[in-house]
Amino acid sequence: MADTARRHAELVARIRDANHRYYQLDAPDITDAEYDLLLRELEALETAHPQLVQANSPSQRVGDAPSGKFAQVRHALPMLSLANAFSDTEVAEFVERIERETGDDLPAFSVEPKLDGLAISLRYEHGMFVRGATRGDGSTGEDVTANLRTVKSIPMQLATGLFPPEVLEVRGEIIMPRADFEAYNARARAEGRKPLANPRNGAAGSLRQLDAAVTAQRPLTFYAYALGEVQGADLPATHSQTLQWLRQLGFPVSPEVGTAAGLTGLLAYYKSIGERRDGLPYDIDGVVYKLDRFDRQQEMGFVSRAPRWAIAHKFPAEEARTTVEAIEVNVGRTGAVTPWVQMTPVQVGGVTVSRATLHNADQIARLDVRVGDSVIIRRAGDVIPEVVRVVESARRPPDSVPWQMPAHCPDCGSAIEREAGEVVARCTGGLFCPAQRVQAVVHFASRRAMDIEGLGERFAQDLVTFGLIQTVADLYRLQVADFLEMKRRADARDDSTPATVKAGKIADKWAQNLVAAIEASRNTTLERLLFALGISDVGESTAKTLARHFGSLDALMAADEAALQQVPDIGPVVAAHILHFFAQSHNREVIAELRAHGVRWTEGAPQRASDGPLSGKTVVLTGALESMSRDEAGAKLEALGARVSGSVSKKTALLIAGQAAGSKLAKAQDLGLEVWDEAQLLAFLAAQ
Task: Give the Cβ contact number of residue 153 at 10 Å.
Answer: 19
The phi, psi pair for 312, rounded to 5°, reads: -100, 125
CA distance 414 to 412: 6
The answer to whether residues 220 and 208 touch, using CB atoms and an 8 Å cutoff, is no
Between 13 and 76, name the residue whose CB sits nearer to ligand 5U1: 76
Distance, C-alpha 253 to centroid of its chain: 20
Rule CB under 6 A: say whether 438 interacts with ligand 5U1.
Answer: no
CB of 75 to ligand 5U1, least distance (A): 12
CA distance 298 to 282: 32
CB of 164 to ligand 5U1, least distance (A): 22
The answer to whether residues 417 and 426 touch, using CB atoms and an 8 Å cutoff, is yes
List 181, 184, 225, 531, residue binding ligand 5U1 (CB under 6 A): 225
CA distance 18 to 63: 19
* Amino acid in the structure at residue 547: A
Question: Which stretch, 68-76, 77-85, 371-379, 615-623, contacts ligand 5U1 (CB under 6 A)?
Answer: 77-85
Rule CB under 6 A: say whether 70 interacts with ligand 5U1.
Answer: no
For 657, the 3-state DSSP assignment is: strand
Rule CB under 6 A: say whether 80 interacts with ligand 5U1.
Answer: yes
For residue 114, indicate whether it is catalytic.
Answer: yes
* Amino acid in the structure at residue 637: L
CB of 204 to ligand 5U1, least distance (A): 14
* Residues with Cβ within 8 Å of residue 526, at least 6 apart in sequence: 547, 551, 552, 553, 601, 602, 603
Rule CB under 6 A: say whether 450 interacts with ligand 5U1.
Answer: no
CB of 39 to ligand 5U1, least distance (A): 32
CA distance 130 to 223: 18
Q: Which helix (H) or strand (E) holds 385?
A: none
List 12, 18, 82, 655, residue binding ligand 5U1 (CB under 6 A): 82
Between 184 and 315, name the residue whose CB sits nearer to ligand 5U1: 315
Rule CB under 6 A: say whether 84 interacts with ligand 5U1.
Answer: no
The 8-class DSSP code of residue 470 comes to S
Between 12 and 151, name the residue whose CB sits nearer to ligand 5U1: 151
Distances (CA, A) of 583 to 329, 540, 596: 29, 21, 20
CA distance 121 to 115: 15
CA distance 485 to 341: 34
CA distance 675 to 171: 38
Rule CB under 6 A: say whether 226 interacts with ligand 5U1.
Answer: yes
Rule CB under 6 A: say whether 310 interacts with ligand 5U1.
Answer: yes
Rule CB under 6 A: say whether 203 interacts with ligand 5U1.
Answer: no
**476: burial class by Cβ within 10 Å (0-12, 13-18, 19+)?**
middle
CB of 109 to ligand 5U1, least distance (A): 12
Kindly state the number of chain residues that form the binding site for ligand 5U1, as judged by CB under 6 A. Answer: 12
Counting other chains too, the contacts that 428-432 makes at CB distance below 8 Å and 24 or more residues apart are: 428/335, 429/335, 430/335, 430/586, 431/471, 431/586
CB of 493 to ligand 5U1, least distance (A): 55
CB of 314 to ligand 5U1, least distance (A): 12
Between 35 and 225, name the residue whose CB sits nearer to ligand 5U1: 225
* Residues with Cβ within 8 Å of residue 555, at least 6 apart in sequence: 606
Q: What is the DSSP string of 530-577?
A: HHHTT-TT--HHHHHHHHHHH-SHHHHHH--HHHHHTSTT--HHHHHH
Per-residue binding letters, 168-187, with ligand 5U1 (x by CB under 6 A): ---x----------------
Encode burial over 450-461: b for 16+ CB neighbours within 10 A, e otherwise. Answer: bebeebeeebbb
Between 38 and 80, name the residue whose CB sits nearer to ligand 5U1: 80
CB of 259 to ligand 5U1, least distance (A): 13
Question: Which stretch, 74-82, 259-267, 339-347, 569-577, contacts ligand 5U1 (CB under 6 A)?
Answer: 74-82
Between 311 and 529, name the residue whose CB sits nearer to ligand 5U1: 311
Rule CB under 6 A: say whether 543 interacts with ligand 5U1.
Answer: no
Question: Which stretch, 78-86, 426-434, 454-462, 593-601, contacts ligand 5U1 (CB under 6 A)?
Answer: 78-86
Rule CB under 6 A: say whether 112 interacts with ligand 5U1.
Answer: yes
CB of 520 to ligand 5U1, least distance (A): 50
What is the torsional sign of CA 394, 396, 401, 406?
Answer: negative
- Taking alpha carbons only, the member of 317, 306, 315 closest to residue 347 is 317
Between 52 and 288, name the residue whose CB sits nearer to ligand 5U1: 288
CB of 294 to ligand 5U1, least distance (A): 12
Per-residue binding letters, 285-304, with ligand 5U1 (x by CB under 6 A): ---x----------------
Per-residue binding letters, 319-358, with ligand 5U1 (x by CB under 6 A): ----------------------------------------
The answer to whether residues 73 and 137 touch, using CB atoms and an 8 Å cutoff, is no
Rule CB under 6 A: say whether 267 interacts with ligand 5U1.
Answer: no
**Residue from 114, 290, 314, 636 carrying the catalytic annotation:** 114
Question: Which stretch, 79-87, 383-391, 538-546, 628-636, contacts ligand 5U1 (CB under 6 A)?
Answer: 79-87
List 114, 149, 577, 667, residue binding ligand 5U1 (CB under 6 A): 114
Q: Which residues bind ligand 5U1 (CB under 6 A)?
A: 80-82, 112, 114, 119, 171, 225-226, 288, 307, 310
List residues with catalytic annotation. Answer: 114
